[in-house]
Amino acid sequence: MKPKNKNLTIDGIDKKILRTLMEDARIPILEIARNVDISGAAIHQRLRKLEKSGIISGSKFVINPKMLGYETVAFIGVYLDKAIQNPEAIKQLKKVPEVLECHYTTGNWNVLIKILCKDNADLMHLLNNEIQTISGVSRTETFISLDQQIDRQITI
Amino acid sequence: MKPKNKNLTIDGIDKKILRTLMEDARIPILEIARNVDISGAAIHQRLRKLEKSGIISGSKFVINPKMLGYETVAFIGVYLDKAIQNPEAIKQLKKVPEVLECHYTTGNWNVLIKILCKDNADLMHLLNNEIQTISGVSRTETFISLDQQIDRQITI
DNA sequence: CCTGAAAAACTCACGCG
DNA sequence: CGCGTGAGTTTTTCAGG
């Protein structure tokens, strides 16, 4: 019920550290230290605390898919015909590397997936040969992203 | 038309480097060097090349929103009533920090947004007081993510 | 792509308030 | 407890081959 704060306090310094690293994960800790005016060792201590608390779930290099020829993002609403075998369908979706997100959702569909593919021909191939062929998938509705205007993490 | 490869070749070593850093952006370069068996300096050279080419668009710390009390993800299809003022509506959406993604899409809606909020009450507040009040927004359809099963980047 | 040396950053144990 | 210091280790950077 309550937020998952197990006596976990994030003060202004923690926020500054996190905001900085959320922008650039490879910035030297000592550079952050100079900005927030505490020692590098103290930053390391706080980072260990934040990692242990689970607030930090990792770090990533972000690659630009367009440079690899992936130009098309689409959202696909998927209707499954037997709720009992949903987990199996998800398992199959995981095997399709172009499926970047998959959500069980309320509303019309059973799941909503986000896929990244090279072009419309690739999208059609994925739909016909990878998605529609999965056992349990009865119907799909596709929404192609023409342009992504916002892409960010939550503000802390 | 063609992929954006300006005489850009990514060999197996580049892929190994990228795959490693996509998993953990703060791993020491020298540790990668030991795995792929070339010198640290060579890895740095390749990374500079990859950054200059635009394949690497940055690095991020990933934070776990649940630990901050953000438990609810929802997708909202937004109908805009005057295409001419779409950019203004997008501008307003950018001001709502809970809006993490925003895509112009084909299909029923003009835009599809992904939002992250604390709970259903927060979601309702955002819909009524932040989204629906934006000039140009005529109607919305909300799909709550009950559970996210897949969340990843493209495979390289 | 490598070497090798200098600079910088990280780690760790200890002591302070 | 969280913070700082300083020594020792590791990584990053840079020049030259």
pTM of the model: 0.93
> Which stretches within A24-153 are classed as H helix?
29-36, 40-53, 86-94, 120-125
Length of chain A: 156
- Residue range B1-29: average pLDDT? 84
Q: DSSP letter for A26, please.
A: T
Q: What is the pLDDT of residue A115?
A: 98
- Residue range B78-87: average pLDDT? 87
* Residues of B whose CB is below 8 A from A4: 66-67, 69
Nearest to A98 by CA among A67, A119, A77: A119
Q: What is the pLDDT of residue B8?
A: 73
Residue B1 has pLDDT above 50, yes or no: no
Does the C-beta of B42 come within 7 A of strand C?
yes
Q: Give the range among A89-98, B78-87, B109-118, B127-136 with minimum mean pLDDT.
A: B78-87
Q: CB–CB of B109/B141 below 8 Å?
A: yes
* Residues of B whose CB is below 8 A from A142: 106-107
Give the separation between CA B2 and CA B11, rounded to whole angstroms: 20
Both tokens assigned to B99: 């809006």
Residue B27 has pLDDT above 90, yes or no: yes
Residue B4 has pLDDT above 50, yes or no: no
SS3 B10: coil
Residue–nucleotide distance: B21 CA to C13 C1' (Å): 31
Give B82's pLDDT tier (boundaries 50, 70, 90): confident
SS3 A25: coil
Q: What is the pLDDT of residue A7?
A: 55
Residue A57 and residue B75: Cβ atoms within 8 Å? no
Residue–nucleotide distance: A68 CA to D7 C1' (Å): 47
| Per-residue pLDDT reduced to its tens digit, A29-80 | 999 999 999 999 999 999 999 999 999 999 999 999 999 999 999 999 999 9
| Per-residue pLDDT reduced to its tens digit, A99-154 | 999 999 999 999 999 999 999 999 999 999 999 999 999 999 999 999 999 999 99
Q: What is the pLDDT of residue B3?
A: 45
